[in-house]
Structure 1
């Protein structure tokens, strides 16, 4: 009866055992690697979701700031137009006072309208805010 000397030798049993342990170790290592990869994927997915939410909140803040800016810019334009109109009216009233002063012979103290009234932001001193609304100037 012919037997395979390699299969019956103690060295082949040890080699077979080593090979089996190696395969088992490799499988376990591959399983751990897949688990780490899945865990990393889950972490990245969660981070992407978090960043999308943060991005959404930032966009909402930017949109709100833009709306506020547009509102303030619009109100500023109205106030500039009103300031210019009031400066023109003041100049006209001062001209009328000069004419009345010349005709009546009475001396009125008529201050000159500074050019700064036409450009309120160019005024050299700080000006206390005047509360007014656009409705006050409707005719």
Structure 2
């Protein structure tokens, strides 16, 4: 009775080569998978680093926007105060001009009464109107 040859590398040289190729392919596949995982991890690390950089840059931009907004609010407030002062001083100048006109009529002497320019009376009517900045720091947040 003839014994059947067992499969694998138990003696038949034909199967020994197949097992060796299979083992080498498995090793190669493992190394390839390891390299792939390492590339994916590196890509993930790079993306996380880039996200951190973007968050830091965004934070710095927000700080600059907030500082600029604060400066704008302060300048607008100061402009309102200056406009009120211009109006008050213009009223005083008008009153003084009226007093000079009355003094000129009463005394009969010609007086040099200063002319009040229109731009002084209406400081909001500048030759080049300034457009207000309509922005909020919150509008840049995602």
- Per the TM superposition, whether the score is higher than 0.5 is yes
Q: Does 1:95 align with 2:98?
A: yes
User: What's the secondary structure of 1:110's corresponding residue?
Assistant: coil
Q: Does 1:38 align with 2:57?
A: no
- Matched residue pairs, number? 124
Show the counterpart of 1:14.
17
How far, CA to CA, are the matches of 2:83 and 2:7 in structure 1? 103
Instruction: Give the one of 59, 63, 66 matched to 2:62.
Output: 59
Show the counterpart of 1:107.
110
Show the counterpart of 2:139.
none
Q: Deviations over 1:46-92 (max 9, x none)?
A: 11111111111000000000000011111111111111111111111
TM-score (norm 2): 0.80
Q: 1:123 and 1:10, CA in 2 relative to 1: closer, same or farther beyond 3 A? A: closer
Show the counterpart of 2:131.
none
Give unpaired runs (5+ residues) of structure 1. 125-139
Superposed counterparts of 1:98-137, under 5 Å: 98-120=101-123, 122=125
TM-score (norm 1): 0.81
Show the counterpart of 2:50.
47
RMSD: 1.7
Show the counterpart of 1:84.
87
